Structure 1
Amino acid sequence: MLRVTVWNENRHEQSNPKVSEVYPKGIHGAIAEFLQSENTEVSTATLDDAEHGLTEEVLQSTDVLLWWGHIAHDEVEDEIVEKVRQRVLDGMGLIVLHSGHFSKIFKVLMGTSCDLKWREADEKERIWIVDPSHPITEGLGEYIELEAEEMYGEHFDIPAPDELVMVSWFEGGEVFRSGCTYRRGQGKIFYFRPGHETYPTYYNTDIQRVIQNAVQWAKPVNLPKPVYGNAKALEEIKSK
């Protein structure tokens, strides 16, 4: 059984009626619904839960963590961020969504500012699949088209992705690296751009397919963990 935790700061839903109308069960609830399956056990956690819902027990029992945050990045405790970082290095998958690009956990794993250009103008977004052989793109066409989304534009201050899977074009003319993979330690990371809180993006079946595929891609691989430190010789070392 694959164990997935969907984390959402859950602040817009409480303060903005438009957001709560689009996502009455919260962004985390909407994502959890389409991820739940016979082989996937999904739980949710939010910023205002004790330890942000990411207790040691929760983290140790999570195979893939999804992260959505926006207006309350600074409220996430550094101690929790460090625990999440260590779990990623130990093999837990991490999927960072939309404005989670500016989260503490994404910044610390990237080592850069993760800043970008942005604009809210209800403009079309076309997400081009630039790596159609990648498992995250399985079942998709050449592109995903969203009628209205928030614009993110280059330069996106991230390290060069290990794999660039998707690139977005916006009606206003900007482009953006919108589907990026990384490996840190034994963990896999996928950053996926769309998902502004006032748009019903997470109800789009193609967007759901990307996230479902990403969860499967990011899940831990059952391989022996490397052993570090002083090592005994495997062969006899003959004295010179």
Structure 2
Amino acid sequence: MKVTVWNENRHEQKNPEVRAVYPEGIHSAIAGFLAEAGYDARTATLDEPEHGLTEEVLNSTDVLVWWGHIAHDEVRDEIVEKVKQRVLDGMGLVVLHSGHFSKIFKVLMGTSCDLKWREADEKERLWVINPAHPIANGLGEYIELEKEEMYGEHFDIPAPEELVFVSWFEGGEVFRSGCTYTRGKGKIFYFRPGHETYPTYHNKDIQKVITNGVAWAAPTGSVKPVYGNAKPLEAIAAK
């Protein structure tokens, strides 16, 4: 299965603290553990031609993983439309952390995708509330992160089709941190953790969730539905 990990790759260029945590970029860290899990993983970044998401790349991608934060507005609308169409046609999409505000996630959700947030080095505990779900395979009752950015409700998204994780934060907030959707033939998984200054994507349980999420979001290979004016399957008796 071919996975493309997309990252705007701006924090890594500007912030030494982020570069110290992810010296090769967040995208390379994620692609690295996905490759170790057996996926054919490649990366794409904002400043590449067509943001690295050419038709050739998109057409050969089974699951697209998306991380963005400070440059959402720089993603060209025509590229967003191409990604959207690929999702509708069956490509999986895994949206991470601040990708909740990405153009592609907002257009697929149809809402503002807004939320509360706070950077205070606080503990996050992600409770597995759907242990039978494939994305939760191999996990215990919860994942605990010593330090993370807080995201709090209300999270302005459509009601998830399946809710896999709910986070609790040291400051008291809770958050729907693992949400799944289908759009057209494509499956979408939103997963909350991953602030750029914390080593979240080095955590083995977080890696397991993303790896499971990619497997879950993979295309099913079902036949594309036929739309429009249709000829009858059986003879229609004249009235």
Query: Does TM, scored on the shorter chain, surpass 0.5?
Result: yes
1:25 match: secondary structure: coil
2:122 match: secondary structure: strand
State the distance in 1 between where 2:74 and 2:223 align: 36
Give the CA deviation at 1:224.
Answer: 1.1
> 1:82-93 counterparts in 2 under 5 A?
82-93=81-92
Which residue pairs with 2:65 in the alignment? 66
1:126 corresponds to 2:125:
yes
TM-score by length of 2: 0.99
Which residue pairs with 1:147 in the alignment? 146
Which residue pairs with 1:197 in the alignment? 196
Give the CA deviation at 1:40.
Answer: 1.5
Letter in 2 for 1:9: E
Letter in 2 for 1:191: Y
Give the CA deviation at 1:38.
Answer: 7.1
State the distance in 1 between where 2:39 and 2:101 align: 28
State the distance in 1 between where 2:139 and 2:227 align: 41
State the distance in 1 between where 2:130 and 2:73 align: 34
1:36 match: secondary structure: helix
Note the alpha carbon deviations across 1:196-218, whole angstroms, 9 max, x for none.
Answer: 00000000000000000000000
Give the % identical residues.
79
Give the CA deviation at 1:160.
Answer: 0.3
Note the alpha carbon deviations across 1:149-197, whole angstroms, 9 max, x for none.
Answer: 0000000000000101100000000000000000000000000000000
Which residue pairs with 2:229 in the alignment? 230
State the distance in 2 between where 1:224 and 1:28 align: 32
1:178 corresponds to 2:174:
no
1:213 corresponds to 2:219:
no
Note the alpha carbon deviations across 1:84-132, whole angstroms, 9 max, x for none.
Answer: 0000000000000000000000000000000000000000000001111
Gap regions ≥5 residues in structure 2: none
State the distance in 2 between where 1:161 and 1:22 align: 32
1:100 corresponds to 2:99:
yes
Letter in 2 for 1:4: V
Give the CA deviation at 1:35.
Answer: 0.0
Give the CA deviation at 1:225.
Answer: 1.1
Letter in 2 for 1:82: E
Note the alpha carbon deviations across 1:7-32, whole angstroms, 9 max, x for none.
Answer: 00000000000000000010000000
TM-score by length of 1: 0.99
State the distance in 2 between where 1:46 and 1:38 align: 22
Which residue pairs with 1:78 in the alignment? 77
State the distance in 1 between where 2:208 and 2:39 align: 15
Which residue pairs with 1:7 in the alignment? 6
2:198 match: secondary structure: coil
Give the CA deviation at 1:80.
Answer: 0.3
State the distance in 2 between where 1:49 and 1:156 align: 32
State the distance in 2 between where 1:86 and 1:170 align: 36
Give the CA deviation at 1:37.
Answer: 4.1
In terms of mean alpha carbon deviation, does 229-238 or 78-87 score higher? 229-238
State the distance in 2 between where 1:163 and 1:13 align: 33
Gap regions ≥5 residues in structure 1: none
State the distance in 1 between where 2:92 and 2:169 align: 29
Which residue pairs with 1:157 in the alignment? 156
1:85 match: secondary structure: helix
Q: CA RMSD in A?
A: 0.7
